[in-house]
Amino acid sequence: MHPERTLILVKPDAIQRGLIGDIISRFEKKGLKIVGMKMMSLDEAVLREHYAHISDKPFFPGLSQFMMSSPVIAICIEGLDCVDAVRRITGITKAREAEAGSIRGDFAMSVSCNVVHASDSIENAAKEVPRFFKSDETYKYQKSEYEHVYAEEELEAMGG
Ligand code: UDP
Ligand code: MG
């Protein structure tokens, strides 16, 4: 049991389709804490870094154009083991095969336009959060619902 932070991007297709609220709401209702959130435009440099693992793929130029076609919403989320929890809520990359109930499974059909990005590992989350948020753009605060979201030993694992 570890307190973690992870990065979510609400992608341009979701912005265009009016899904911002629905997507953020999924994470909120799960009991996750939003500790940073902003609208921002991405440029080629940050996309090359963020998508370094696929920057040599033929679909990368198109993906880059898509990710720059409108602003995105960057969200930093905190919770117990939340990197994995957020990936489960997000669903698999190819949205038309993503599990019903996941965000991609419920809201998308495409392998590219799949409405949301979520960090895929603790290591990557630790790199991705500071890529999109300066240290004074994330916040520490008490969430009163935590006593109903977590059991006592889980709250202790998160540092009280
Ligand atoms: N992507 C794409 N075509 C592909 C595979 C991926 O356009 O064949 C895009 C898609 O938007 C995906 C992003 O590249 O979300 C990052 O790919 P990754 O394999 O990291 O998938 P994710 O972690 O987003 O599920
Ligand atoms: Mg990924």
C-beta separation of 107 from 22 below 8 A:
yes
For every residue of 67-113, DSSP letters joined together read HTSS-EEEEEEEEETHHHHHHHHH--SSGGGSPBTBHHHHH---SS-
C-beta separation of 5 from 117 below 8 A:
no
Token pair in block for residue 10: 């609400």
pTM of the shown model: 0.98
Q: Is 149 in the pocket of ligand 1 (CB under 6 A)?
A: no
Distance 102 CA to ligand 1 centre (A): 16
Q: Is 54 in the pocket of ligand 1 (CB under 6 A)?
A: yes
Ranges of residues in the chain with a pLDDT under 70 are 160
What residue ranges define each of the domains in the chain, with the CATH number in brackets? 4-134 (3.30.70.141)
Express each pLDDT in 13-30 by its tens digit.
999 999 999 999 999 999
Express each pLDDT in 107-135 by its tens digit.
999 999 999 999 999 999 999 999 999 99
Closest CA to 14 of 60, 87, 77, 75: 75
Ligand 1 pocket: which of 54, 68, 83, 117 to mutate (most atoms within 8 A of CB): 54
Distance 54 CA to ligand 2 centre (A): 9
By the 10 Å C-beta count (0-12 exposed, 13-18 middle, 19+ buried), 145 is classed as: exposed
